[in-house]
Amino acid sequence: MPITRDIALAARQLREGKLVAFPTETVYGLGADAGNAEAARRVFALKGRPANHPLIVHIGETRRIEDWARDIPPLAWRLAERFWPGPLTLILKRGRAPLEVTGGQDSVGLRCPSHPVALDLLRQFGGGIAAPSANRFGRVSPTRAEHVVAEFGDAVDTILEGGDCTVGLESTILSLLGDPPVLLRPGAIARAEMEAIIGAPIPGVEPNAEVRAPGLLDSHYAPDTRLLLCGAERIATLTAGLLDRGRRVAVMTRTLAPDDLPPGVRRHAMPTEPSDYGRQLYASLRTLDSGDFDDIIVEQPPDEEPWRAVNDRLGRASHGNFPSVT
Ligand code: TXA
Ligand code: MG
Q: Is 23 in the pocket of ligand 1 (CB under 6 A)?
A: no
| AA identity, residue 206 | E
Substitution candidate for ligand 1 out of 28, 30, 46, 56 with most atoms within 8 A of CB: 56
Q: How far is the CA of 296 from the centre of ligand 2 (A)?
A: 21
**Percent over 70 (pLDDT), the chain:** 93
Angle subtended at Cα 59 by Cα 274 and Cα 87, rounded to the nearest 5 degrees: 10
Taking CA atoms only, the protein residue closest to ligand 1 atom 13 is: 132
Q: Provide the pairing of β-strand 172-175 with 158-160.
A: unpaired
Substitution candidate for ligand 1 out of 24, 46, 88, 173 with most atoms within 8 A of CB: 173
Contact 299, 314 (CB under 8 A): no
Angle subtended at Cα 290 by Cα 145 and Cα 277, rounded to the nearest 5 degrees: 65
Contact 301, 314 (CB under 8 A): yes
Q: Is 239 in the pocket of ligand 1 (CB under 6 A)?
A: no
Q: Is 132 in the pocket of ligand 1 (CB under 6 A)?
A: yes
Q: Is 55 in the pocket of ligand 1 (CB under 6 A)?
A: yes
Instruction: Choose among 252, 10, 277, 268: nearest CA to 131.
Output: 10
Tell whether pTM > 0.85.
yes
**119 has pLDDT over 60:** yes
Contact 145, 3 (CB under 8 A): yes
Of residues 2 and 196, more confidence is placed in 196
The string of DSSP letters for 64-125 reads GHHHHEES--HHHHHHHHHH-SSSEEEEEEESSS-TTTTTT-SEEEEE----HHHHHHHHHH
Q: How far apart are CA 8 and CA 236, in angstroms?
A: 52
* Domains of the chain: residue spans and CATH: 3-198 (3.90.870.10), 226-317 (3.40.50.11030)
Q: How far apart are CA 235 and CA 230, in angstroms?
A: 6
Q: How far apart are CA 164 and CA 279, in angstroms?
A: 9
Contact 96, 68 (CB under 8 A): yes
DSSP structural state of residue 133: B
Upper half-sphere CA count for residue 287 (Cβ side, 13 Å): 15
pLDDT, position 209: 52
The string of DSSP letters for 207-253 reads TT-S---GGGSSS-S--SSEEEEE-HHHHHHHHHHHHHTT--EEEEE
Q: How far is the CA of 3 from the centre of ligand 1 (A)?
A: 24
Per-residue pLDDT tens digits for 226-283? 999 999 999 999 999 999 999 999 999 999 999 999 999 999 999 999 999 999 999 9
Contact 227, 317 (CB under 8 A): yes
Instruction: Choose among 223, 224, 266: nearest CA to 242.
Output: 266
**Ligand 1 atom closest to 105 (CA):** 29
Element of type H or E holding 14: helix 7-15
**Average confidence score pLDDT of the chain:** 94
Of residues 2 and 134, more confidence is placed in 134
